[in-house]
Structure 1
């Protein structure tokens, strides 16, 4: 029987995002983007003293900045908000062709209010430059996940969903088998009693 794996893949995605923070989150984001967009997506890493110039990745004229919160919680919101604004300004200065700026995050349960307020402030700055600004969160990761093959999902999330689902159902299957054997044995026992002379 083929199992519908969509919901299970999304469950694994949420768990993976919660567990991945800092540079590991940026690596996870890059892995998703590369598997869906191939060489059209360019991961950006600091080299020497040059830094990343406000960019963690680029897809054409789209620029991405990553923030991987530890355990899905923002500890120092003021610092992250300052970094968001500084990264946006650096990206504007170093990539004049930028059309979209996305703040990629792993906040599966929702962003904190200061991050939302800062994004709105950045949107106001971006409007004058005709740049579209937004978050890249759980919904965007789900969209990428749906575009991947099962092999890519397995490589990124680290498990085979169908096999795990079947394994999770194994106790249920064993219980059903045992119940059937007991029922069969009970019927056989009744039949034997009927056949034995008194």
Structure 2
């Protein structure tokens, strides 16, 4: 049994994993999960680009189940009309192809990495297919199904799949050496002259709310805020007297870049997380350090808006 704190941490780690799992990375993650659950009854199917994959991104032998994976960039957030048409077309073509290549098909599942609400257009298309092919069980496999499958595994298997999820206890045990390692890796990889540091301002009480962050993202920031003062001291006491300004400037430049791409607030936050974490395997200590660093920068008002957009003067 997982404690409530552990379950919450695993859910957070899963959301991060799904946001990272675009394109074939979703297929790889899904194959690892299904293999952990079903063993050799699940067959991961690799794509031979000269022959195609027969519209099958994974196969479960009994009952014969074909999986089709779709991992849009940014977990489908801010999808354009063209991107939505592509997603709907993929549902259609993948199902038709599976029906053609696997005539004994019993179940077909459309696997996706949407972490917010699934677009109504995709649900509508799935319902249409269900009406047209009543002999075949047609289902969606998304965040909820990933979560249920993950919780059916033991702690070691879960860690292998989504990393060592940081609990509330981990957040209370911040490791300064890991924080400094994250900071030094970031500064080694950026141009320190990108954006000069501004004069710090007091963080507004409603900043978490008027920036449009989801409850999940707000929770991660709040968790990190308990360590913001410690992170500030580590940065201010560093042997490099320019570190605090350079670090804030580097993150502000990243934030402005992502904002200019019209990404939604959650996606900006997770891109900043990727920037800080380096894209590698996430440990509990690293997860805590990155969220604590982001919370420190959030409070310093170097990332995200310090006034409601509607009240800002052009």
User: Normalization by structure 2: what TM-score?
Assistant: 0.50
1:72 corresponds, among 62, 71, 75, to 75
- In structure 2, the gaps of 5 or more residues are 175-225, 227-314
Shift of residue 150 of structure 1?
0.9
Q: How many residues align?
A: 167
2:126 corresponds, among 119, 122, 128, to 119
Kindly indicate whether the alpha-carbon contact (under 8 Å) linking 2:13 and 2:165 is maintained by their aligned counterparts in 1.
no
Superposition pairs for residues 164-179 of structure 1, below 5 Å? 165-170=168-173
1:99 corresponds, among 102, 106, 109, to 106
2:144 corresponds, among 133, 139, 155, to 139
2:94 match: 87
Structure 1 moving runs of 4+ over 3 Å: none
Alpha-carbon distance between aligned partners in 1 of 2:126 and 2:3, rounded to the nearest angstrom: 40
- Which structure has more RCO (C-alpha within 8 Å, separation ≥ 6)? 1
Superposition pairs for residues 1-198 of structure 1, below 5 Å? 4=4, 5-60=6-61, 61-73=64-76, 74-75=79-80, 76-127=83-134, 130-161=135-166, 165-170=168-173
Shift of residue 170 of structure 1?
2.7
1:192 match: none
Alpha-carbon distance between aligned partners in 2 of 1:125 and 1:170, rounded to the nearest angstrom: 55
Alpha-carbon distance between aligned partners in 1 of 2:24 and 2:59, rounded to the nearest angstrom: 17
- In structure 1, the gaps of 5 or more residues are 173-198
**1:95-135: CA deviation from partner (whole Å, max 9, x where unpaired):** 111111100001111211221121122212221xx001110
